[in-house]
Every structure is written in structure tokens, then in C-alpha cells.
Structure 1
């Protein structure tokens, strides 16, 4: 049966069906949550089949040629779109052999998961995350999450059902047959299969036997845990034996049940470990034993000789003398802003995962916040920059500044080229780049009194818990 699609041709007959109409909320879920995963063509196929379903719940018998004409795509494209719908659970395909008509297809359209069940499903949530990224996932989640009202201080005075409506318990017995029939009519005899990450290459039975031999039990939500095990297996290639080992270190000693959160942490510690930070690479004078103050003076003079402006040097030294969270707090506080919980988590993630020195992370923060004029740090954008800098071997603040300027120079040259050779010889509007990137402004060095006052202001801010 699985190969019958190969026999499909434009004259093959099909019908589409759905058990009950799609609600407006379900249509929004299909469009916003499923479309990023399945793609536009699969969504178009779903909606086209849905449009053919009549009030009876079934469409007329149609040729696939009609589908090809309506969607303006090929049979192979319909096949690919159909498989995407089947894989995500939005479509079930059935075939029947007819001696006169050949193979007949029945396309049963399935309702999407509710928003709650979608986001509680690890497989669907992770698949959506991989399709749209963390920022968009957060936005979609905020759109669909329930908006519960804080009822603190309120007392409920709602009337109960029996206070308002007449209800005779004895009717439940006399009408039990009819009630049972109505209940059964809503049960699908062949329900759509639940989305699953189950992989036949992982021996679940062997895994369960292994943990039971150790006296470890599955958690209460064993089905959800099973899905998570398979997700980790598919994601990292973890074997049954290694998975048993993780469980042996992640169970509650009182109940002997696997602690799911501890299990997750154990996996991530091994397969997504914290990365040891590189020390900042810069020129030091190791020939003589210099005090910390003299070493700073040597550092200042070396940067000056290498063409860095006073403004550059001040920023470099600030980046080397502050922890990233403190640095971000000081930047945002200076403009009357505040650091969000998401930004704090992102900065901590950069420190533990990127391998970049604190000074380079501070330059990155400065670049995104002051130069790109971003009011907050966005995870996708910041992680792309951090990845590129780490892979390019940028492990000192001065290298980070030089790298940004080189990119800005190339970008400017490309814009000038596009302006000269734009379509129809029309000039193309150029974006002006920040002065820090192109033309650093030479500043007068602060007097000792001004510098001391500035240092005291920064120290006062940090001593008040600015980095906490």
C-alpha cells in the first residue's frame, strides 16, 4: 500500500473529508504554528482540500488533475506536500482498489493540536524552534498562551449549575443508552496518530530493562519521558547504554523514579558543555616585573602606538576591567534603561558557552547596544556574532574593534559598488554607518581629577549591586 502513490496520475480519483469544521482558532494555529514547519505548499494543499469539503463532511470525487490545476504545481510537489502534512499529523491518506476506477484516494484532514498541547509537546515545540528560532518562538508562545487574570483579593460569588437549572439525576439512568450513543459518536474509530520522535534504532525495551536492573523507575509521565529520550537520541546519537548511565545518576533516592530535570541537565552537561573561556590576548611586558598600574600604562602606550584612539583605548580598558553583566548594567543605566531577565540569561550563556573572553563579550555588547542601536540584546543576533568571532579567533577587544571596522569598510565598498551599478543607473540610497565604526573621534584625555570622578561614579554604581 505504501508504494501506491507511484501509481497516481492526473486521472486518479480522490475525495477529501474532515470530521468537523475548523474553528477560527484552529485556522490560526495551522497558519502560525504549523506553516513554519510544513512550508507554504503543504499549507496550500491542506487549505485547498479543506475548501472542497462540503457540509456533509466529504468532497465530491475529483481527479488529481483538478488539484494540479487549482494549485498550479506538479504531481511530485503534491506528493512532497502531502508527506509533510502526513508527518505532522494534519493529514491521513487511505487508498482503495476499484476494478473499474483503479486506485481511489481518501484524504482525511485532521484537526491541529490545541495551542496548549502543541507547546506541551516536546517534539512539536523543538521542531518549531528549529524552524523559526528562539525569538520568533517566544513571540508565538506569547501570542497563544492564556491570559490569566490575577484574582488576588477577589471572592467568587458565581451561581452554581444546580442553583439555576433543573437537573434530575434519575434521568441519567433512564436516558443512559442515548447518552452513551451521543458520547460514542464523538470518538474517532481511527484517530490520527500522535506526532512522535520514536526511532526504531533505539531499543526502548532494552533501555527499560537496564534501568530496572539498577532499581530505577520511569517517571510518572513515562510517555512524555519516552519522547524526550528519543529526542535526545536523535539529537545527540546517545546509545541505550549511555542513556541508562544518565538515568543512574538522575533519580530521586526516596521514590527511585527518574528526576526528569536532573536527567536533562546531565545530558546537556555532557553534550552541550560549558566552554572554558579563553584569556584575553594582548601584548604584555614580561621582560621586567611591572606593577599592575605600570602594566596598564604599558598597555595604554602599546595601543596608542598601534593607532588606537583615546576613545578606543578607554573602551578597551573598560571592557577588560568589568564583568559582562556589570558592563551591560552600566551601559543601560547610563541611558535610563534596565537589563531584562532574558538579557541576563543571554550574557551568562555567552560567558559559559562562547569561549570568548569577558573583554570581547563586552565589546560585542557595546557594538550591539551603542553602534547598532538595539534597545535590547536579541539571542539570535548576538549568538551569530559571538559564533563568528569565536571561529575567527577574535580573543582580544582590539581585534574585535578592528574586525568590526573591516566589515564596515567592506560593507561601504559594496554599497558604493551597488550605487555605481544599480539597476537602470538609479542611485541607491546609502545607510550612514556609526562614527565609532568608520571614523573614531579623537578625544582629549581626561584630567586626573575628571578621571578620578568618573572612576568613582562607576565604582559607586557597581558597589550598589549594579551587576546582580
Structure 2
């Protein structure tokens, strides 16, 4: 399955843009009103992005997603999930540029004011369902101000022209300057979440109301939006909605009491369902499916006899690109990827037609198992050719090939040592012997630049596995 977060990599860069001046009151609204809807991770993502923005420039510097993953202590799937929650609720806009290199721009949008939030049917009902009536009232009271008893006061506020005078001709002269097209901070008004109508038949709904006393003009666009929210959240069909509208209508005027309509729907739903409305994140199911697949895959690998370290290598080989895999190994060994290594790797990827995970096992064999300082071109070509011809299509198959090669080389080395010992023993008895040069098979041959196989020490292996697990914690990389 092609999960959507696979297109996002820890190595992808991003910048943050602020389109409105965020204040302390915005932070309180985010904490108390939005956080119960979007969850702690999405809230932390918003606040982290906010702190990345340079003061008075409204833009951040370029940042890698790997830094964001480290700060939030999440993987790529969880980061993607948090991001789209912010997008859906109207707090974030995401833009992507792919040329000359991949770059995301995350534009932070200011939250609604408290007044707008509680007037929005969808947001207020979602909060009500999330926290319950008692907590809802308590949260709303945080933003309630005592009204001014204006009947006891006389307003003495001065108007603009009572205080200021200006030259109208000057305004005409500077008109062009005032109308220059510039994008000012806070120019875009925040847009709340919008529900698109996909299942409610308004035509059928109105046809049923025509035979009653309800005036068609009483159902405004705003009330239509409310009806759509009630239909979506509580599953009210067209016939039941007609009944609720009639119950909330005034028989004399034909007007509809919107508050009564919402209360009736809410009351009946909870009397029938005895449970709160829950938001089901579409990505959450995908994440759970992927985690289940990973557990099943790990179980299969264990049944095949792979050790925990080998399973980790297989898992990481399937998660990151060959270049990043090679770079990670070189970084740990204190080296760097040369241009020749890049070209060799690119040619193998293009011509051998091996899966990226198999190429990663090849890299691991050369740089870790053999402990070569460089990704030796000639050896890499030999092995990749062999694997392509023998249809090595999975990292576990490649790992088994590596084990076989390592065992064969070790056996050949022992045979050569035994033969050398036999020759030396014969010479010690005064017999004249002719030493025959052993012709080793192709796999045992070494190029002049190649080092003899010298596996890492146990400490080095453990350090390498720790590094792989750290890479793995970043989450899955895009294909």
C-alpha cells in the first residue's frame, strides 16, 4: 500500500511563513480550544513551527525535517498525521516545490478569535463533544468578559474628525502609493474547517418542507451550513432533519430557532447512542495497518532464522534510500561519500534493477561486513551483477547471499592456511616441494585496492546498530 507519508523524507527541507501576528491570546485559544480537537502532537507541531520564525521577518531559515522529528520525538507517519490535522482545522497551509530541489513551505494561520470559534457550529460542537458540557462551559467562561451596563453611562467618545484635520489634496497625491500591491502581514483572514456536502440531499429535504408552514426563506445559507454539520456529526437523514426543523420552528412566523434545532439533535443523539461523537482520523488507520504489517513482517523474518540485529538491518534497508544509507554508514565511520562512490551507486541502481533495500544490503556488506573504507566499484559491480542474474528481490534474500559469501570466503581462507601449513611441514622434512599457486574462485579474489575481510568489532557493531535504530526512529522515508 502506498501510504501518503512515504513522499516525505527526514532529509527534505522546509521553511515556515507566518501570515498573521500571533499573540498571547492566540496561544491561549490554541491551548484551550484547538488542542482538544487536534491533539497534543499537532499542537506541539504548530508551536514548534511558530518558534522557528525569525522575529520581524515572518520567515524561518531553511530546516530539515529530521530536526523537526527530533524535537517532537515522532516518526514521519506521526508528523504527517499532525500536519494534516492542522491543515484540516484551518491552522496551516502547506506548499511544495520540487525543482531545483524539494522544499516545503508551512504557512501558519492564526486561530479564530474566541468569539468566532464559539459561533462556528462545527468547531463549537466538536469541542463540546470532546470535553463535555461542564468543561465546555468552563472553557467558554475563560473568554467571557462582563458586559458594560451602558444604560448607566453616556458615551462621550470623540469621532475621528472631532480630533483630526487633514488636507484632502494630499490624499489624492499619495493615492498611487497607498494602492501599491504589497502583501502585508495579517492580510489573509483565517478560514475555519469546511464540510463539503456529499451525502445530504437538500432538494429532497426542501420538498418535504413545502407541505408545512416553514418558510423556505427562513433557511439561510448559514442555517444550511448548520444542518450539514448536524447531518455529518450525528448522522441525521433528510426525513429526520425535516422533523427537527419543524420542532424548532415558530408556527406563527415560520422562523427557525437555530439553538433549539441543535439542542434537539444533540439531545436525541445522546439519548439513543449513549456515547460521544468521536473524530476518526483517516491516517490513524493507515498507521495502525502499517504497524501491523511491520509486526507480521518481523515475525516472518524471525521464522526464517534472522537475528534481531539482522532484522533491524532489513527494516532500515526498506525505509531509506541507498544514498542516505551509505551516507549514514560513512558518517558513523568518520568518513564521507566520494563522487566516485556516488557515480558507482547511481549506476548500480539504474542498471542492476535491484530493489533499493537490496542495494542497501550490498552497501552494508561492503562497508560494514568487509569493513572496506570505500564502496569498492569493481566488487560492487560483481555482486550486483550476480544478484540481478540470480533474481535477488528482497533484503532477506540479499542477507542470505551475504552470509553464504562470508562463509565461503572464510572456508577458502582456512583451506589456503591448511595447504600452506602442509607445504611448510613437507619442507621441514627436507623434501623438495613445488608450491602451487592456488587459483581462488571469483568471490575470493581481491582487487589491489581492496582490503581483506575484517569484520567490525562487537563494540563497532553495537554502535552501528544504535545508529540504524536512530535512523529508524525518524520514520519512513519516501520512495
Q: How high is the TM-score relative to the length of structure 1?
A: 0.50
Alpha-carbon spacing, 1:73–1:260, altered in 2? closer, same or farther (3 Å): closer
Q: Partner of 1:165 in structure 2?
A: 164
Q: Partner of 1:233 in structure 2?
A: 231
User: Any residues of structure 2 matched to 1:24-39 within 5 Å, and which?
Assistant: 24-39=24-39
Unaligned 5+ residue runs, structure 2? Answer: 275-479
User: Any residues of structure 2 matched to 1:329-408 within 5 Å, and which?
Assistant: none
Q: Partner of 2:365 in structure 1?
A: none
Structure 1 residues 16-25 or 246-255, which shifts more? 246-255
Q: Partner of 1:41 in structure 2?
A: 41
Distance in 2 (CA, whole Å) between partners of 1:173 and 1:207 is: 54
Q: Does the Cα contact within 8 Å between 1:219 and 1:258 map onto a contact in 2? A: no
Q: Does the Cα contact within 8 Å between 2:18 and 2:59 map onto a contact in 1? A: yes
Relative contact order higher in (CA < 8 Å, ≥ 6 apart):
2
Alpha-carbon spacing, 1:222–1:172, altered in 2? closer, same or farther (3 Å): farther
Alpha-carbon spacing, 1:209–1:194, altered in 2? closer, same or farther (3 Å): farther
Alpha-carbon spacing, 1:20–1:186, altered in 2? closer, same or farther (3 Å): closer
Aligned-pair Cα RMSD in Å: 3.4
1:93-135 per-position Cα deviation (integer Å, ceiling 9, x unaligned)? 222222x42x432211110000111111121112122222222
Following superposition, the deviation at residue 36 of structure 1 comes to 2.2
1:64 corresponds to 2:97: no
Following superposition, the deviation at residue 37 of structure 1 comes to 2.0
Equivalent position SS for 2:11: coil
- From 228, 241, 259, the equivalent of 1:243 is 241
Unaligned 5+ residue runs, structure 1? Answer: 275-352, 354-468
Alpha-carbon spacing, 1:104–1:188, altered in 2? closer, same or farther (3 Å): same
User: Any residues of structure 2 matched to 1:378-457 within 5 Å, and which?
Assistant: none
1:106 corresponds to 2:105: yes
Distance in 1 (CA, whole Å) between partners of 2:186 and 2:216 is: 30
Distance in 2 (CA, whole Å) between partners of 1:265 and 1:226 is: 16
Q: Partner of 2:447 in structure 1?
A: none
Equivalent position SS for 2:37: helix
Q: Does the Cα contact within 8 Å between 2:29 and 2:113 map onto a contact in 1? A: yes
Following superposition, the deviation at residue 253 of structure 1 comes to 5.2
Alpha-carbon spacing, 1:152–1:182, altered in 2? closer, same or farther (3 Å): farther
Distance in 2 (CA, whole Å) between partners of 1:217 and 1:3 is: 48
Q: Partner of 1:466 in structure 2?
A: none
- The count of aligned residue pairs is 271
Q: Does the Cα contact within 8 Å between 1:219 and 1:260 map onto a contact in 2? A: no
1:235-278 per-position Cα deviation (integer Å, ceiling 9, x unaligned)? 4322123323443554445654444345446546755679xxxx
